[in-house]
Amino acid sequence: MNEIPEPAMFRPPINRAMRALDRSFFRKSIPLSAAKIRDNKQISKYRTELGHDLLRLDRIPAVRSVRDSEGQEAKALLLRPEVKPDELSELVKASQVSLLPYNLELDYDYWNYHDIMSALLPEAEQDEFPTGFSIVGHVAHLNLRDQYLPYKHLIASVLLDKNPTIRTVINKTDEVGEQNEYRTFSYELLAGDPDMNVEIHEESCRFRFDYSKVYWNSRLNTEHRRLVEKFQPGEAVCDVMAGVGPFAVPAGKRKVFVWANDLNPDSFASLDDAVRRNKVDRFVKTFNEDGRTFIRSSAKRLLQTDIQVEIFKRVSRLKQPASTVKPIATLTSPKTFNHYILNLPASAITFLPFFIGLYAGREELFTPNTDAKLPIIHVHCFSTKSDDNKEEEIKICKQVSEQLGYEMKPGDIETEGEVQVWDVRDVAPLKRMFCASFRLPGEVGFRVVENESGI
């Protein structure tokens, strides 16, 4: 049976002048009729017979306990307010049901966030209702538009009440990275606990960090997964702006060798904690350096580093002592990185010049001299929006070309001089995040630059 459209009488009372939340204001007594069932065993039968006449609303059970005029408790079925007593005359005459008046009491706890806010916000401000927000652990992160700022505390209080997993509601007061290079943001606490230490679960990994001191975006989960799934066990990945490790840690679980770096000391501390907490320290090395210099220094150090990890089959310690378990395989880290991740969309493209001449004079490390290919670079960036992204692909390739001093065009990763531009997500009405992936061209990677040396 389809739901009957909700009449206005079931909506919360309206108070568009309220600025401090008064929960007691939201009370409503709705006069209805109820069909008292003489035999409780017949409730299911009469629910079917009454069918369209029953009250059908979310979170309001139609079956209620009532007392008749003699004080006897019985079960009754709530009826729609439009139902007239004479419409049930046949059942009443047959003494199968009797009609009673019933006052349905609704209060603040009944209505959801959207219901309450619809009763508080001006009608003119309800076209773009503030329902979208990020949840990071127990923190709800709002980014309210100017027209909703006068109602920010109302919004936060109702949001806190209606979402039991949320303990803290904040509103961003500047753009990410506007105040510093660590991609953190200024915010104001609107409601709840000021504690910003959160725990996040993503891709079967646990991360703990102070959200006020590091960068995290739960809406990038799909992009994290997309890139990590490109990495093969035994490959080496350089995560230049690793943050707390949303790429590095899941990649480590896939037995990928990752050199993960972040300039922010707080991000580095949380990254280091995540590596140990998720037991991927055999595969993930952590660094706290400037990303520009790390691109070159990490390549040099990797070339000079021997890393081997023995892989064991999982067996019960009760069945076989650890000392007698033999490895089923040994993974050896490559001497050159297979992939670089530059996830700093506001400025990552400007880091590309540090790949120029990265392997100058070291052609012997790569094909056709070995099986190794020059690395694939995944650089995130912002651009405009269009229906097919063709204009944006051209813009991004032009930016990449300018930074590398080498012409790059939209196309396939494996074709030298071509870039695959991936649409990551919309970040604003006229702004979109992309990931430009391309294999480092030999002319760029092996280029001899005056006063510069390769690794």
Model pLDDT, residue 90: 62
pLDDT confidence of 93, banded at 50, 70, 90?
low
Q: Are 382 and 419 in contact (CB under 8 A)?
A: no
**Vertex 85 angle, CA 83 and 89, to 5°:** 120
**Contact between 385 and 431 (Cβ < 8 Å):** yes
What percent of the chain is modeled with pLDDT above 90?
71
CA distances from 262 to 83, 284, 286, 418 (A): 66, 13, 8, 28
Q: 40 or 292: whose pLDDT is higher?
A: 292
pLDDT band at 316 (very low <50, low <70, confident <90, very high): low
* pLDDT for the residue 4: 45
At residue 133, the pLDDT reads 85
pLDDT digit string (tens) for 388-441?
999 999 999 999 999 999 999 999 999 999 999 999 999 988 999 999 999 999
Residues in the chain: 455
Q: What is the pLDDT of residues 190-218, one digit of tens each?
A: 999 999 999 999 999 999 999 999 999 99
Residue 352 pLDDT exceeds 90: yes
Largest CA distance in the chain: 103
In whole angstroms, how large is the CA radius of gyration of the chain?
31
The Cα 238–Cα 285 span in angstroms is 10
Average pLDDT for residues 120-140, to the nearest whole number?
A: 85
Q: Report which listed range, 28-32, 96-100, 408-412, is most confident.
A: 408-412
Choose the weakest-confidence range: 128-142, 344-358, 367-381, 402-416.
128-142
Beta strand segments in 242-398, E = 257-261, 284-287, 308-311, 329-332, 339-342, 376-383
Higher pLDDT, 56 or 454: 56
Assign 3 a pLDDT band (cuts: 50, 70, 90): very low
* Residues 6 or more apart whose Cβ sits within 8 Å of residue 158: 21, 113, 116, 117, 120
What distance in Å separates the CA atoms of residue 314 and residue 318, rounded to the nearest whole number?
12
Return d(Cα 315, Cα 293) in angstroms, integer: 43
What's the sign of the alpha-carbon dihedral 174, 177, 178, 181?
Answer: positive
Only one residue has tokens 């050199």, namely 259
- CA atoms of 37 and 46, how far apart (whole Å): 8
DSSP 6-49: PPGGGSPPP-TT--S--GGG-EEEEEEEEEEESSGGGHHHHHHH
Is residue 374 pLDDT above 90, yes or no? yes
Report the distance separating Cα 403 and Cα 412, nearest Å.
19
List of residues 6+ apart from 33 with CB closer than 8 A: 79, 83, 85, 99, 100, 101, 102
In this structure, what are the phi and psi dihedrals at residue 358, rounded to the nearest 5 degrees? -55, -40
Q: What is the mean pLDDT of residues 81-95?
A: 66
| SS3 (DSSP) at 55 | coil
Tell me what pLDDT residue 415 has: 96
Cβ proximity of 318 and 262 under 8 Å:
no
Instruction: Assess whether pLDDT exceeds 90 at residue 38.
Output: no
Residue 180 scores a pLDDT above 80 = no
Which residue intervals of 278-424 are DSSP H helices?
291-303, 390-404
Among 80-84, 275-279, 365-369, 444-448, the least confident range: 80-84
Encode pLDDT of 406-421 as tens digits.
999 999 999 999 999 9
pTM of the model: 0.86
Give the Cα separation of 104 and 122 in Å (integer): 28
Instruction: Give the residue-averaged pLDDT of 243-251.
Output: 98
